[in-house]
Amino acid sequence: MDTVHYTQLIKQKAQALGFFYCGVSKADFLEEEAPLLEQWLHQNMHGEMAYMANHFDKRLDPRKLVEGAQSVVTVLLNYYPEKDLANEEHYKISKYAYGQDYHFVIKDKLKALMAYIHKEIGEVNGRAFVDSAPVMDKAWAKRSGAGWIGKHSNLISREKGSFFFIGELIIDLPLTYDAPIKDYCGTCTRCIEACPTDAIVAPYVVDGSKCISYFTIELKEAIPEEVKGTFDDWIFGCDICQDVCPWNRFSEPHQEEAFAPHPSLEKMTKNDWEEITEEVFKELFRKSAVKRTKLKGLQRNIRFVRGPQPE
């Protein structure tokens, strides 16, 4: 079995599909991450994201997800937009949600990559994963040499910054494995200092239950009053810790048509957001990740950020 040749074939096809990076790591137990995950869950930093505590064993061992798994193929897809829509005139949504829901876009590309493996290499068993199963994608990306995990807990690439999505194929095919790279955060603490809700409780440790993204997307109940006035107009997700990261000076606009924002999104004024109807919501976010909050959730976020209005 020519592992070098097969690895090369997979990486070339991944690039042809639009992924800017493809790396491979051995499907093994995540020994380093296991105690860290356990501690994070024990301290309840996942808040109401109960799914984070589910399938603990599977989350740490891909061989429990795919029988006989040998390799984790990690791919990265850039989503950095040509124009940043977050400014003082508008309510803000995370850059990753400007276009179509990344889950579907990446899943389709990974299915195409899997089909190519079957065609060129033969009967290979495996599954595609995009942030929707118990897979520690950042840990696998780090192992595959894609980058290092920054102090804000996001993966950082020396070439592209951190505005990208991560996907995986876990397959039962042995390949040539890449090596991790070193951490280049150095003494920089910009992300920690910039977080308005103090969610980065220590370098490399994010209390998910304090993050603006958690409050505006994951939390289904009322947003706690103690964080009022800290959201800086973010109504879906938050990019602050990434925006201040010096490595994102290397970010370049993506070439993925599906990630282009709806033409009307840029024109939305604060007043438009405040008066958004079900019809407009469905049109703007028909295929977007923003659908997760539903209109009711988005309206709750807008009211919270806007604050009480004069009678």
CA 291 to chain centre: 16
131 a catalytic residue: yes
Sheet with 126-129, edge to edge strand ranges: 21-26, 71-78, 164-171, 126-129
Q: Exactly one of 28, 61, 108, 131 is catalytic; name it.
A: 131
Residue 59: CB atoms within 10 Å? 21
* Residue numbers annotated as active site: 131
